[in-house]
Amino acid sequence: MNSLYEHSTLASLMAGNFDGTITLKELLSHGSYGLGTFTGLDGEVVILGNEVYQATSSGKVNHITDMDTMLPFASVHFPKNEKELDLTDVDFSTVNKDIVNEFQLSNVFGFLKLSGVFKKMHTRIAPKQEKPYPSLLKVAQNQPEFEYSNIKGTLIGYYAPQIFDSVTAAGWHLHFISEDRLIAGHILEFKADELKGGLEVFDTLEQHFPVNNEEFRATEVEMDNLREGIAQSEGSQNK
Ligand SMILES: [Zn+2]
């Protein structure tokens, strides 16, 4: 069994529940690689082999070692069965079409890790919010974007089937971190001549809920515009 562990839901984050509901310590007991965000939607989190990095909206990257730091939303896993990848001419269409088709991802969760020189890297970083929190869609309409060229680093992220859109983001959700760990963010677009890495398909999803969080329990999810909002919040290249 290889499982993907998810804490809370994207629907809850969309509703503006940005208070942290799991500690890094607890999260890392469920996986050594992953993505997420911190309390207040404070940046984009990249977890690489138990090392935790936070891209902040100023563009600065922090190495987080305080295991009491809280996250409202995160996905992690322990690598178990990665298939090697060696790709040329890579961009979102490669991962959206070629990788999804080759590894038959449509109905399963997957993890992708690719390293190399990125000719183009276009990211966004969620800016920290204060209470009362706005919706994720509101935040997404005004967030700093960054563009880099010829930058060496690693992309990691998860693929979720369409039927899970709103539990998490359907399609690919990818974060980037540079090799020197000075640049990171949520990927909107990228391009590379050659990337190497691995892909893992999960046979189990472990969905954890913040049951002791009153806001989470009391949130009335508005289903009508939820998926449209997610598409706008998580980046149009994602589909
Ligand atoms: Zn992200």
pLDDT of the chain along its 239 residues, tens only?
A: 899 999 999 999 999 999 999 999 999 999 999 999 999 999 999 999 999 999 999 999 999 999 999 999 999 999 999 999 999 999 999 999 999 999 999 999 999 999 999 999 999 999 999 999 999 999 988 899 999 999 999 999 999 999 999 999 999 999 999 999 999 999 999 999 999 999 999 999 999 999 999 999 999 988 888 888 888 888 655 54
In angstroms, what is the span from residue 172 Cα to ligand 1's centroid?
A: 10
In angstroms, what is the span from residue 80 Cα to ligand 1's centroid?
A: 23
Contacts of 167 (CB under 8 A, 6+ apart): 6, 9, 10, 11, 160, 207
Distance from C-alpha of 158 to C-alpha of 121, rounded to nearest angstrom: 18
Type of residue found at 104: Q
Distance from C-alpha of 220 to C-alpha of 197, rounded to nearest angstrom: 40
Asked whether the bond before 210 is cis by omega within 30 degrees of 0, the reply is no
- Residue 15 φ/ψ, nearest 5 degrees: -75, -5
Note the pLDDT of residue 239.
Answer: 46
Note the pLDDT of residue 235.
Answer: 67
Q: Which of 185, 228, 221 is nearest to 37 (CA)?
A: 185
In angstroms, what is the span from residue 173 Cα to ligand 1's centroid?
A: 6
In angstroms, what is the span from residue 36 Cα to ligand 1's centroid?
A: 7
Type of residue found at 8: S
Note the pLDDT of residue 237.
Answer: 55
In angstroms, what is the span from residue 169 Cα to ligand 1's centroid?
A: 9
In angstroms, what is the span from residue 35 Cα to ligand 1's centroid?
A: 7
Cα-based distances in Å from 158 to 23, 44, 78, 86, 152:
21, 14, 13, 18, 21
In angstroms, what is the span from residue 177 Cα to ligand 1's centroid?
A: 12
In angstroms, what is the span from residue 66 Cα to ligand 1's centroid?
A: 21
Q: Which of 44, 8, 12 is nearest to 135 (CA)?
A: 12
Q: Are 162 and 170 spatial neighbours (Cβ–Cβ below 8 Å)?
A: yes
In angstroms, what is the span from residue 43 Cα to ligand 1's centroid?
A: 9
In angstroms, what is the span from residue 111 Cα to ligand 1's centroid?
A: 14
In angstroms, what is the span from residue 174 Cα to ligand 1's centroid?
A: 6
Q: How many CB atoms lie within 10 A of CB 26?
A: 14
> Can you tell me whether residue 172 is helix, strand or coil?
strand
In angstroms, what is the span from residue 186 Cα to ligand 1's centroid?
A: 4
In angstroms, what is the span from residue 84 Cα to ligand 1's centroid?
A: 24
Residues in the chain: 239
Q: Which of 121, 132, 123, 108 is nearest to 201 (CA)?
A: 108
In angstroms, what is the span from residue 228 Cα to ligand 1's centroid?
A: 17
